[in-house]
Structure 1
Amino acid sequence: MSAAAPRPGSGAVRPSVAGAPPVTAPMIPAPRLPVVGWNTFSGPAEAAVPTLLAHPRHVLTTSGRAAILLALECLAVGPGDVVLLPTYHCPTMVTPVKTLGAEAVFYPIDERGAPRLDWLSAHVPPRTKALLVPHYFGLPQTMDAVRAWCDSRGIALIEDCAHAMFGRSGERPIGSWGDVSIASLTKFFPTPEGGVLALNRADLSLPALTPASRIEQVKAASDILHMGASHDRLTGLNGLIRGVFALRGLLRGAPRGQATPVPSRHGDLDEEEEIDANMALIDLPLSHRALTRASGWISTRVPRRRIVESRRRNYEFFTAAFAGCEGVHALLPALPADCAPYVFPLWVRAPDPGYLEMRRLGVPVSRWDRLWPGVPALPGDVGKAWSHHVLQLACHQDLTDADLRRIVEQVKRLFTGPAQPANSANPARQAHAA
């Protein structure tokens, strides 16, 4: 059978047979994170893998970073306490610790991103209150040994599911191993804000959060529509929505002809602005504010199967596209059965200056290359090498086939020598559509 029809608003024609020439890249840059479109509401409601949103004791927060702060507060972390964090990290993992006056101590990770428990056993500080362990890239870590290590020492485990909204670790759903668990909604749903805090210990209580104001409620709803229309994903309404925001800009004094900026959120900022924002101390009132109704509705009511299946297909497409390429390779080519990846981690032998060129071109890619000051070089650690060599390629559900091909073309052009033709169609998608 032929491949499925193009998705509304994709700006690209999907080839019907493998080997057809790639379509011209769309003029609008591919979104780094999901954006609302008509496809957002398609498909079965439930996915085949569990989600942290089904956790029986959870609350929706304004961000993943706010969720970490609230998790630390639930654990009574404060001045004089130590929190163990991985050497490979986003600054959003560190700023909540610093905001509460605690000390961040960095531990090494192995080649799959798991904590090196041998090092931790030999070097854990006596004032350690908590250990934060991420499921990097949305691929579940094995948690039973970590759980046992924490239990034997009376150290709380913070399970960081910011990259892993869906999945299982061993026999348990993601988010059920930690004393507390956190997640980020914006990485998986088309929302301008949002995080999750879940509690697994009976002696801990969920925080009472301040309701969002009416202005914040309206802004969140309008930002969701604006992001979708700015990426041409709401066919039939794109022009109208953009026109409304352009008129609002004029009424507020913006110069005529100047584009109305797309609402910013984590991942949509200029890279330097994003890093600076993430390394700043946290806005405490915002962290203790409840999620807006529009963001909560999108993240809890949209069908989930499409999210999981699309991300898995896109990850597998990248794995096949970069197989055998000189200079790059999939960091973790084996995709576990029970998960939905956040990004595709690509090891690049010589990432600079090509990485900045990809960002300039609007390719949806990121890198954790600005580690917190003072991160040490530790024996057996891959974290600092990952921060330089690993590029995180977007593989979310709202990328079109043209977006995926363009990502592959740019990676091959910039990091593997002369440009090579990318696969003209996603074979996993074609198999799914047949």
Structure 2
Amino acid sequence: MTLATPATATPRLPVMGWETFRGARDAPLPSLLAHPRHRLTTSGRAAILLALECVGVGPDDVVLVPSYHCPTMVAPVLTLGAQAVFYPIDEHGAPRLDWLQTHAPARAKAMLATHYFGLPQPMDANRAWCDARGIALIEDCAHAMFGRSGARAVGAWGDVAIASLTKFFPTPEGGILAINRDDLALPVLTPASPLQQVKAAADILHMGASHDRLTGLNGLIRGVFALRGLLRRPAPVPIAPAAAPIGDTTTTATPAVDERIEDVDANMALIDLPLSHRALTAASGWISTRVPRQRIVEARRRHYEVLLQAFQGDAGFHPLLPHLPADSAPYVFPLWVRTPDPGYLEMRRLGVPVSRWDRLWPGVPALPGDTGVAWSHHVLQLACHQDLTDADLRGIVAQVRRLFSA
């Protein structure tokens, strides 16, 4: 039996609500927002572009990028005219330094190393490898706003580090660029326009009301936005069918899948340089820096543990990693699924908060000892953020069991 899509879909990312302001101001883990030298950017993708600029990446340079990636990690490299060379990762998500030792091009200027799923990776070996070759280490903390990697806070290992605010805070935009090298300067960003400032504040409220998280104001806010939409609705224009993305053999798709493909294709486009050099709006910056953080860390860890226990003992799926590291605040719960299709598309159609990095950049090679390409197909990223309810978690577990259980 196919279940109907719920009227109010479970949020894939944090949303504004009265619960947002509950709990202690400080989290039990260090945060990139406490980094002594950082800038708030418009997005994590913009932060990667700024990081590349900071370390001097330009045309004809090579940037080392992991085989398991989101297109937003590659687009900034190409925007600057540089070349992305993909390297393999091991079963824990760490760079295969043995492969890089032999195959990394001499022109490599920077290496992007990622803390996947918000579970901090060891960075000391990456740091030493880059230092020995004069390669800049860009520490990708887009999934890891909070935590420690060995003896240091996440974000303290790279020459520069980047992060994404939208994955941990109820903001419509936002990223972080943090600099650890004394000889590198923070970029000067242009201020947001008044219209951009107002839109960001309105989007924060609208998202919360859309998910019924602002009790007493939900109806009023939704009504205002519905009226605005009616007043601004343009005349319908015929739209040509979109071309299928590379590697897609599906001839038809539901609207939800079409929207997902369009989003990924947009992420593969070159980056808007003026937008990347724009400062974050005041509303998004205020939310990211002022809301209590204890609840964020504790709720994410609690939700991850619930999913960890729920997904044991089934031949059709298993947690990708066996336990939750102590010094981490996860972004998502990575679940290995033996046969993820067509169940994954059904989950997306139903509004289950799940994603998958299944649109790797064209040209990613098959590399010895690599798990990245397999992860892109088999690993589902299930939401475990702080604004999920117990009912949301039960719904996620039920759909996984229904669609993937052996």
State if a TM-score over 0.5 links the two structures.
Answer: yes
CA contact (8 A) 1:25 1:402 kept: no
Question: Match for 1:152 among 112, 123, 132?
Answer: 132
Q: Which aligned pairs between 1:411-426 and structure 2 lie closer than 5 A?
A: 411-417=400-406
- Distance in 2, matches of 1:99 and 1:177, equals 25
Deviations 1:23-70 (A, max 9, x none): x99631100000000000000000100000000000000000000000
Match of 1:261 in 2: none
CA contact (8 A) 2:257 2:345 kept: no
Deviation of the 1:310 alpha carbon: 0.5
Q: Does 1:282 align with 2:271?
A: yes
- Distance in 2, matches of 1:252 and 1:139, equals 43
- Distance in 2, matches of 1:329 and 1:362, equals 22
Match of 1:383 in 2: 372
- Distance in 2, matches of 1:344 and 1:381, equals 21
Question: Match for 1:349 among 321, 338, 345?
Answer: 338
Q: Does 1:92 align with 2:81?
A: no
Match of 1:327 in 2: 316
CA contact (8 A) 1:164 1:342 kept: yes
Deviation of the 1:249 alpha carbon: 1.6
Letter in 1 for 2:131: D
Letter in 1 for 2:378: H
- Distance in 2, matches of 1:253 and 1:365, equals 30
Q: Which aligned pairs between 1:24-423 and structure 2 lie closer than 5 A?
A: 27-253=7-233, 270-417=259-406
- Distance in 1, matches of 2:69 and 2:149, equals 20
Distance verdict in 2 for CA 1:25–1:274, change over 3 Å:
closer
Deviations 1:256-296 (A, max 9, x none): xxxxxxxxxxx999311210111010000000000000000
- Distance in 1, matches of 2:187 and 2:151, equals 28
CA contact (8 A) 1:32 1:268 kept: no
Distance verdict in 2 for CA 1:26–1:43, change over 3 Å:
farther
Structure 1 unmatched ranges of 5 or more: 1-23, 256-266, 418-434
Deviation of the 1:326 alpha carbon: 2.1
Deviation of the 1:254 alpha carbon: 6.5
- Distance in 2, matches of 1:80 and 1:125, equals 12
CA RMSD in angstroms, aligned pairs only? 1.5
Letter in 1 for 2:341: D
Deviations 1:105-128 (A, max 9, x none): 000000000000000000110100
Structure 2 unmatched ranges of 5 or more: 236-255
Q: Secondary structure at the match of 2:209?
A: helix
- Distance in 1, matches of 2:231 and 2:151, equals 56
Letter in 2 for 1:355: Y
Distance verdict in 2 for CA 1:254–1:230, change over 3 Å:
farther
Q: Secondary structure at the match of 2:84?
A: strand
Q: Secondary structure at the match of 2:158?
A: coil
- Distance in 2, matches of 1:332 and 1:36, equals 30
- Distance in 2, matches of 1:50 and 1:269, equals 39
Deviation of the 1:363 alpha carbon: 0.3
Identity of aligned residues (%): 78
Q: Secondary structure at the match of 1:270?
A: helix
Match of 1:14 in 2: none
CA contact (8 A) 2:257 2:349 kept: no
Letter in 2 for 1:403: D
- Distance in 1, matches of 2:98 and 2:72, equals 26
CA contact (8 A) 1:87 1:375 kept: yes
CA contact (8 A) 2:6 2:350 kept: no
| Larger displacement relative to structure 2 (242-251 or 292-301) | 242-251
Letter in 2 for 1:273: E
Q: Secondary structure at the match of 1:363?
A: coil
Q: Secondary structure at the match of 2:386?
A: coil
Letter in 1 for 2:351: G
Q: Secondary structure at the match of 2:178?
A: strand
Runs of 4+ in 1 over 4 A off after TM superposition: none
Aligned residues: 383
- Distance in 2, matches of 1:204 and 1:413, equals 52
Q: Secondary structure at the match of 1:197?
A: strand
- Distance in 1, matches of 2:269 and 2:15, equals 26
- Distance in 2, matches of 1:126 and 1:411, equals 45
| Larger displacement relative to structure 2 (268-277 or 379-388) | 268-277
- Distance in 2, matches of 1:200 and 1:268, equals 40
